[in-house]
Every structure is written in structure tokens, then in C-alpha cells.
Amino acid sequence: MRILQLFLLLSLIPSSFCLSQVVPADSTSHVKDSIRVSFFYNDIDLEGKLKVHPLDTAITGFQDYDLLTKNSPFYATLGNIGSAYNILFPTPMRQTGGFDVGIHSFDNYLFQNDSVRYYRVLKTYTELEYVQGAKKELNFIARFSRNIYRGFNLGFNFHVSSSPGAYQRQKTNLVNFILTAQFLSKTKRYGLIANFIVNRIKNEENGGIKYDSVFEQNLESNRQILAVNLPNAQNRIKESGFYVKQFFDLTRHDLYKLDSLERKRKRIELGRITYSFQYTRQIFNYIDDDPMAGFYTNFYFDTIQTTDSITIQKIENVVTWTNPSFDPSRKYRRIQLEFKLKHQYVEVSYPDIQYYNLYFDPAWAAIELVHPHKKYYLNQIIPSAWIAFRPFRTFTLEAYADYVLGTYNEGDISFNAKVSQILGSLKRNLGVLSLAGYYRYHEPDWFFQHYQSNNFQWNNAWEKEGLISAAASYTNKYFSLGASMSRISNYVYLDTAALPQQESAGIGYIRSWLNTDIDVWRFKFKGEFAYQTIQGPNVIRIPAFIGNLTIYFTQPLFKGAAVIQPGLNFFYNTKYYADSYMPATRMFFLQDQKEIGNYLYMDVFLNVKIQRARLFVAYSHFNASFMGRTYFMVPNYPMKDAAFKFGVSWRFHD
């Protein structure tokens, strides 16, 4: 296996010279066989043309291959890629109305509908990416897109990740697959996109190491010998589903190809109708073959084996009307509208303790019973509206509102408003100034209301949670900064016993941030920094300061045919009582025993680009051996020791 991997790496470099014409690295020129690859998402409602994004072929950030931290570094993990995570700044409520099961500790590892890319290509596009890390960590990605017939395109994205981890029972395994299809009529008046998604996660759970002192004092350098809390437990997540979205413009697209006289006579436009259908099935399994190991205290089903299961099936139908602009000289209308009607049908099922005990009672052994699962059936209708007012090209006022009618989320309401002003003209300006306001009044997520498993069970009737927030931000091409103030009412959380509680007193949350993207000669300084504080009851635990800084130095070689980019990365957060992790529920909960943080993580890396091939070599957390072994992000779960990693990506356009 190692010989094969080495051969792949060595054969890749010379092959790229043969299969690629010489193009300056990171060039933005339109080269038909490589550069003209773009993609769009499923937000095809608001603009007359597809909102396409160019394919990123640069090497900046290529070393960030982890699905979790690729877009933001501010997560607390269990010390292995693919493990459960907790976000380092609170997001107390979801952004839009409707049903939410409330378990989100693995979301970033799942391919989700809103992040699916539909590629626009001139020639067949293929990209292969391979990464190998310490302790036999392996990551592989294959992307493909091909035009099958006029206006019809098929593609897929396949990802697999496996990492045994440094400690006992820490192995993670992720498999993700997306099949996409798209069709656009010749006039672009009708369009269809569709996808089929499969996600699989199979992670071992060890409950953390038993004795932090053994690690902190480095009494045993072989991490596999350190005792852990759960000797034979694992979490499994299975998700599959499909999605279809169609649009039809009620006005001809070629309206603006006519001369000005004809255009005036045919000025009435009827907008765009969009319909989407989505089906998803998600299963959460927690299995423990040794539930009496001492980690759990309550057993409601079985003391021999835990086989918890939650199944969520969801069907969504959405009808939307919008009035996008098809005028090539104007991207948006002065007044733009969107009206949406969504229907949600949801089934939630998990073992029912009442029937389960009856089923296993010897006195009832002769009676045939139904499968011991309890099901909930939910039907909800969610009307929503969005409006944007643009009296000038540099000024925008937006507002959004939705309301839920139906069963579980009856009476939930959301409202957003945002004002943006470009300080200058579209081409020459000093940046964008924005003010935003948010209001939420939502039922707590399903998990906090209803849950049954071998070790935890509850049925609650909490009050609706409330959120009022205001934010201001300023953005230019070098940096963005902002601040927000929020007040949260009736906040639901997991206490120190990992049980849900509701805080009736109001909680204040203040956050300020600064993001930088500054180029000085050949150096790039890319940073994210935030200061945050909680006012009121201490039921939300966050570090006061978090920061991440990456420094790149970019050097072209061979007249631009290749580029090398060495760099350093620094991550830091202040000390705080970080939440603990509960494997049986896949959730994080409060703890008061251990403060963690005040530790600087440092990485060094080298990115290389040779034509269509990108490579990186990294030595992550290289300071682990000389800064003290206090590197925890979650109590009882040490982060990774220093480790070498390398990766390669190769694009084909044939």
C-alpha cells in the first residue's frame, strides 16, 4: 500500500507536464480546456441568470482539507478528524422556521442539499484528491462533471475518510456521495436540477481518556495504552435522500434582445415560478456492547447491550414565485419579491420504553406484539416572504419573514432585516457598511423535548425560545469587522448531568469580530479573530477570545509554470469551562470541573502548484512536544500530537 501511494505521488508530477499546456499558475485568463469551469448552488430563484462561481484552482488554503475546518477554524473537536464537534461561538437558534431534530454535532461532515455544486463545464471535468496523515489517516475525493446532451449535465462527488486515531476506540470513518443532474433549455426559460445524496458515518466512541494526568505528565508516550471510558461503543449515522427543483420563467428570455421600441411594448414581466421536492431519511444509531462499564448510570431498556435508534423521515414541497431581473444591464430590480409556501411532512421514530419492556416481559412471551418503536407524525405549512428595495445601485434594504402553521412548530416566527450601503460607486468604493436585525420565536429543537434511549429519556413541554439581535459590519477588500448584541430568552441547554433544562432569565450575548485578508508583496495574512462575552446566567460557555492567523509566502517558479507557497498557521483561544461530550446522545453538555484553553496551536506547511496538480506537505501542531501537554479542546479528549501530512490534487479536462 505504501509503495502504491509513493508511486502515485511520484508519477503525478511529471505526468502533469505532459497532459497540460503551460499556463501561468493561478491565472485568471479564460483557457477553454481548464479555466472555464464554474458551478452554482440551488439558489436559482432570485437572479435572472445563474449565479455561477468560478472553480477555485489556487493553492492558498489547499492544506485545509478537513471538511470541518475548511471554511472556519472555530470548532472544538474530540481530537480526530471526523469526530463530533462543538462550535466555539453560540448559534442558539436555527435561522429559518420549520422542524429541526436538534442534533448537529456531525453536520459539517455530511453532504447537504444547500451545499451541492452543479458544475458548468465546456469539457469533461474530473478532479482527484488524496491526503494521507499520521496514524494511517486517509482521505480521498473524486469530482466529475460531463455534458451528456444539449443542456443536460451529469456529475458526482465522492468522498471517503478514515482515521484510526491515536487512542483506543477513536476510529472514524466517513463516506459521502452525491449524484447531480441539471438541464437548461436553449432559451434558459426552463431549468431543472436534481441530486441524490448518501452519507455514512461510523465512529468508535471511547468517552475520553480516564486520567488526564497520565497524558499531561506524559507518563505513557504510547497513546494506545491510555485507559478510556468506553471499551466497546460506536455511533453510526446514515442519511440518504433526493432533491428535484424546477423553474419556469413566465416571460420570454429574449425580451432584451429586441430593439428598444419593441422592448417598451413588451415590458410586462410575470416573474419566475419554482417548485422543489425533497425527501430525506436520517438514522442515528448508538451501540454499546458493554453498557455496564461505569460510564452511564441509568438503564431503561437493557444492561447487556445498548442499541439506540432514532429515525427521521422528511418530505418537503416548496412552491416559490419571484420576479428576477433578466435585463443584462441590471442584475437586480429596484423592488424584488419572493413569496414561498413550504409544506413539511415529518416522521420521527425511536424505541418506545413501554412496549419494549412489555415485549421482553416473560409473562407476555406468548403474545405477538408490534415492533417496539414509537412514531410521531408532523405536518407543517410555512409561508414566507422576502423583499429587497434598491432605489440606487449602491443601496439595498432587505426584509424576510416566515410563520409556521401545523403541529410541532405551530406559531414559530422569524424576521430579518438588513440595510447595506456601498461607500462609493460599484467599481470604486471604500467598502460596504451593513446594519442587520433579527427576531426569532421558536419551539426548542425536537431533541430537547422528546428523547428515549437506553441511558437517557425525557418528554418535556418547554416554552418557546426567543432571540432578538442587532449587528453592524463593515467590509472592504482587505478586512471585515463587526459587532452584534443579542438577547436570548427561555434558552434550552444540557446541564451537567447531560439533561435538558430551560433558563427562564434572559441571557445577553455580545460578539465582535475582525477578519483580514491582506497582501503585502508576496505575503498574505489571512486572519479571523473574535471577542465574545455572555451576560446573565452561566449556561452558555464560550472562550472570551478566539483567533486564527495564517501567513502565506507565494513564490512563482519557472516563469509562472509552478508556484510554491510555504506558510504558518496559529490558533488560540482563552481558558474557559468547555462543554463535555456525551456519546450516547451525540451532544455537548455543561461541566464545572476543568478549564481548558490558553494554548497556542502552530502548524507549518508547504503548498506547491505545477500546472493542474496541487500538492501540500504539512507538519501540524509542531509545538506539541515543547509547550506542555495541555492541548484539549473538549475535556478528556486530547488533541492530536505533532504529525506529518501530505496531499495531492489533480484536475483533468478531457
Instruction: Please answer whether residues 390 and 412 qualify as being in contact, where contact means their C-beta atoms are separated by less than 8 angstroms.
Output: no
**What is the SS3 assignment for 490-542?**
CEEEECCCCCEEEECCCEEEEEEEEEEEEEECCEEEEEEEEEEEEECCCCCCC
Query: pLDDT tens digit string along 389-418?
Result: 999 999 999 999 999 999 999 999 999 999
Residue with cell 434582445: 257
Residue with cell 422543489: 276
Which set of grid coordinates corresponds to residue 197? 445524496
Query: pLDDT tens digit string along 224-236?
Result: 999 999 999 999 9
What one-character DSSP code corresponds to residue 209?
B
Give the whole-angstrom CA distance, residue 170 versus residue 106.
15
Handedness of CA 314, 315, 319, 322 (dihedral sign): positive
Model confidence at 651, in pLDDT bands (50, 70, 90)? Answer: very high
The mean per-residue pLDDT over the stretch 516-531 comes to 97
Q: Report the percent of the chain where pLDDT is more than 70.
A: 88
Model confidence at 363, in pLDDT bands (50, 70, 90)? Answer: very low
Amino acid found at 13? I
The mean per-residue pLDDT over the stretch 188-192 comes to 93
Give the whole-angstrom CA distance, residue 330 versus residue 321.
20
User: What pLDDT is stored for residue 328 in this prediction?
Assistant: 73
Maximal CA-CA distance, the chain:
88
Mean pLDDT of the chain: 90
Q: HSE of 385 in the Cβ direction (CA atoms, 13 Å)? A: 2
User: Nearest-CA neighbor of 648 among 63, 108, 86, 95?
Assistant: 63
Domain 2-103+110-652 sits in CATH at 2.40.170.20
Model confidence at 254, in pLDDT bands (50, 70, 90)? Answer: low
Give the whole-angstrom CA distance, residue 170 versus residue 213.
19
User: Looking at 30-44, 276-290, 514-528, which range is the least confident one?
Assistant: 30-44
Which set of grid coordinates corresponds to residue 279? 425527501
Long-range contacts of 248-257 (CB under 8 A, 24+ apart): 248/189, 248/190, 248/272, 248/273, 249/188, 249/189, 249/190, 249/326, 251/326, 252/187, 252/189, 253/48, 253/187, 253/188, 253/189, 253/326, 254/187, 255/326, 256/326, 256/327, 256/328
Using CB atoms within 10 A of its CB, is residue 242 exposed (0-12), middle (13-18) or buried (19+)? middle
Model confidence at 75, in pLDDT bands (50, 70, 90)? Answer: very high
Instruction: Please answer whether residues 374 and 352 qualify as being in contact, where contact means their C-beta atoms are separated by less than 8 angstroms.
Output: yes
User: Looking at 26-30, 138-142, 580-584, which range is the least confident one?
Assistant: 26-30
Please state, as a whole number, how many other Cβ atoms lie within 10 Å of the Cβ of residue 145: 23
Query: pLDDT tens digit string along 118-157?
Result: 999 999 999 999 999 999 999 999 999 999 998 999 999 9
The mean per-residue pLDDT over the stretch 291-309 comes to 94
Instruction: Please answer whether residues 62 and 614 qualify as being in contact, where contact means their C-beta atoms are separated by less than 8 angstroms.
Output: yes
Model confidence at 360, in pLDDT bands (50, 70, 90)? Answer: very low
Which set of grid coordinates corresponds to residue 282? 436520517
Instruction: Please answer whether residues 476 and 517 qualify as being in contact, where contact means their C-beta atoms are separated by less than 8 angstroms.
Output: no
The mean per-residue pLDDT over the stretch 605-628 comes to 95
User: What pLDDT is stored for residue 27 in this prediction?
Assistant: 38
Give the whole-angstrom CA distance, residue 102 versus residue 444.
8
Amino acid found at 581? Y
The mean per-residue pLDDT over the stretch 551-557 comes to 97
Model confidence at 204, in pLDDT bands (50, 70, 90)? Answer: very high
Give the whole-angstrom CA distance, residue 635 versus residue 637.
6
Domain parsing of the chain, residue ranges:
2-103+110-652
Give the whole-angstrom CA distance, residue 374 versus residue 376.
7
Q: Is the pLDDT of residue 33 over 60?
A: no
Give the whole-angstrom CA distance, residue 412 versus residue 238.
29
Backbone angles phi, psi at 377, to 5 degrees: -120, 125
Write the CB contacts of 497 (distance below 8 Å, at least 6 apart in sequence): 589
User: What pLDDT is stored for residue 49 in this prediction?
Assistant: 84
Q: What angle do CA 390, 395, 397 make, to 5 degrees?
A: 60
Q: Reduced to 3 states, what is the DSSP secondary structure of residue 108?
A: helix
Write the CB contacts of 275 (distance below 8 Å, at least 6 apart in sequence): 245, 246, 247, 317, 318, 319, 320
CA 646 to chain centre: 24
Model confidence at 23, in pLDDT bands (50, 70, 90)? Answer: very low
User: What pLDDT is stored for residue 364 in this prediction?
Assistant: 41
Q: Which helix (H) or strand (E) holds 212?
A: helix 212-216
Write the CB contacts of 319 (distance below 8 Å, at least 6 apart in sequence): 273, 274, 275, 340, 341
